[in-house]
Structure 1
């Protein structure tokens, strides 16, 4: 795959999903994976933002895209990043293993630092 970067995150809002047979409403998290150069996007509804949902959504995104990019750029959600840091983020151990298995690198987005006005 000639793609360099894949940007990954969950977006808001949480979406209600209604079972047409039972009427039971469940809530879905929307996973989004977007290629940096083309903006080609994969989207799916996930049951949660837990690590299993996060990793399995990646697998399905790779299948949809037809390969694995050289670099994954997730936001700083807990399923990916254990400790967010502007210069030295700490990845979740399972996410590190996942990236190693797929022979790709992970570079989380830099956290935004909000500065307050001083009076």
Structure 2
């Protein structure tokens, strides 16, 4: 089903299901990263970055960097029910 979005209205954010492995060059240690994705609804212009965790500080910092990348913030940020982004699930007003 095709959806219509007004430019600048919505930014859809979530972590991708798949993780990426990063190898430290000095030690050879392999660490998994979480992939944060932010996509503007009207244009599908996308910002992607890897973070160590899905914790609240990483979640907020990823948003800040995404807003800087896009050159501003949309009217609404729409997230999936990510634990660090939604403290109480509600159909009408998630908090």
Structure having the higher Rg: 1
Of residues 72, 75, 83 in structure 2, which corresponds to 1:78?
Answer: 83
Distance 1:71 1:84 in 2: 18
Q: Which runs of 4+ in 1 moved over 4 A?
A: none
Decide which structure has greater helix share: 1
1:84-99 aligned within 5 A = 84-89=89-94, 91=95
Unaligned runs of 5+ in 2: 1-6
1:59-105 deviation digits (Å, cap 9, x = unpaired) = 0000000001110001111111111122232x2xxxxxxxxxxxxxx
Matched, 1:60 2:65: yes
Unaligned runs of 5+ in 1: 92-119
Which residue number corresponds to residue 3 of structure 2? none
Q: TM-score, normalised by structure 2?
A: 0.89
Q: Give the CA RMSD over aligned residues.
A: 1.0
The Cα shift of 1:20 comes to: 1.6
